[in-house]
Amino acid sequence: MSINNNKKYKESRRIWATTRAHLEADRMKYKRSGKKSKSHWSLFEKVLQFFLIFMKLFNIYKRGYKNAKNIKVNKIDLYFPDLPCSFENYKILHLSDLHIDSIQGLEDIICEKLNGLEYDLCVLTGDYRKSCQGSLKTILRPMKKLKDCINANDGIYAILGNHDTYLMAEYEDIIDINLLINETVFIKRGNDKIAVTGTDDPFYYFTDQAIIALDENINCFKIALVHTPELYDVAAENGYNLYLCGHTHGGQICLPGGIPIITHQFEGRKFYKGLWKHNSITGYTSCGCGVSGIPLRFYCQGEITIFTLRKGEADIIL
Ligand SMILES: [Fe+2]
């Protein structure tokens, strides 16, 4: 639904929050396939703590931690035949998987990288805190600090990931970001417009509302924001032009050559990292800014991405 319809929007948000609260309390993964399975994240985190001791013993920890703080700025031009002329050279800053409390001072590192960069719109594709549970209080200050570093004339639009809680919506005004929860917003330039649709996380908290949001009858250039790549086919079938996501961290801990050991993604796994194409949709899976599980990266650099939209034939052949 469009977020312009105030009464309908508030009712829709109320229903969503009630449903999401129930799903979170259940601590299960609700998948699009209809499967419901237990989340093993807490167990996974405990296993990683043993891994961490091993790393510290062999002094690999320091190197991995330094890698995790070394975030690159990736600038990518994307070509679309259907791009409205007024959006030629439109710049989108994409930040994903901030996990802003995973590394001390991460917000300062990101702010320093953002300094001097130019963009029109900022999108955040989920996972703001390190843990999947617990208080949100620890991330409010760094998130607000980061938000104050972002200078996007067309605003900041954010979606929720599997590490995020429905309570984020209560802090939307405090952090001063606009959440898109199965909702669409329009950005206008003269007579032209583009639509940005954001869904709730489909990795733990899939509901049909995510499909319904992508299925809305919208006739313009469309961008989908989804935490994971797994709704790529739905977005493509519904004529979306661009799909931005994260979640996988590009593997985070990889073998030489960037080969991931774990991606936490089965559906859409082939799109676990970087630029991809499916039929007429172009997608990008960010390696993310932050880290989860353990504060280390190997052979997989964190990233801040700036896309420049250009009118023309798509330039990627995959
Ligand atoms: Fe994440």
- Write out pLDDT tens, residues 194-205: 999 999 999 999
- 229 CA distance to ligand 1 middle (Å): 13
The pLDDT of 12-21, averaged and rounded, is 95
- The residues, any chain, with a CB within 8 Å of residue 25's CB and separated by 6 or more, are none
- Report percent pLDDT > 90 for the chain: 74
CA distance 113 to 72: 8
C-alpha distances (whole Å) from 81 to each of 38, 99, 136, 278, 316 are: 43, 35, 42, 16, 13
Surrounding residues of ion ligand 1, Cβ less than 5 A? 97, 127, 292
pLDDT tens for residues 151-160? 999 999 999 9
What's the total number of domains in the chain? 1
- 251 CA distance to ligand 1 middle (Å): 10
pLDDT tens for residues 227-262? 999 999 999 999 999 999 999 999 999 999 888 887
pLDDT at 45 over 80: no
Which one, of 299, 239, 227, 304, lies nearest residue 267 by Cα? 227
Q: Give the model's confidence band at 174: pLDDT under 50 very low, under 70 low, under 90 confident, else very high.
A: confident
At 21 the three-state DSSP class reads helix
Residue 36: what pLDDT? Answer: 75
- Whether residue 190 lies inside any domain: the answer is yes
CA distance 62 to 69: 11
Q: How many beta carbons lie within 10 A of that of residue 17, not counting itself?
A: 15
pLDDT tens for residues 265-304? 776 678 999 999 999 999 999 999 999 988 999 999 999 9
pTM: 0.93
- Whether residue 318 lies inside any domain: the answer is no
Tell me the CATH number at 81: 3.60.21.10
Work out the mean pLDDT of the chain and round it to a whole number.
91
- At residue 93, φ and ψ (nearest 5 deg) are -90, 125
The pLDDT of 64-93, averaged and rounded, is 97
Full residue range of the structural domain in which residue 147 is found: 6-31+40-311
Residue 135: what pLDDT? Answer: 83
pLDDT at 318 over 90: no
- 93 CA distance to ligand 1 middle (Å): 18
- Whether residue 317 lies inside any domain: the answer is no
Residue 22: what pLDDT? Answer: 94
- The residues, any chain, with a CB within 8 Å of residue 213's CB and separated by 6 or more, are 1, 182, 183, 184, 197, 198, 199
Q: H/E element holding 149?
A: helix 137-149
- 302 CA distance to ligand 1 middle (Å): 11
- Whether residue 70 lies inside any domain: the answer is yes
CA distance 302 to 299: 10
pLDDT at 3 over 80: no
- Whether residue 316 lies inside any domain: the answer is no
pLDDT at 141 over 80: yes
- 126 CA distance to ligand 1 middle (Å): 7
- 118 CA distance to ligand 1 middle (Å): 25
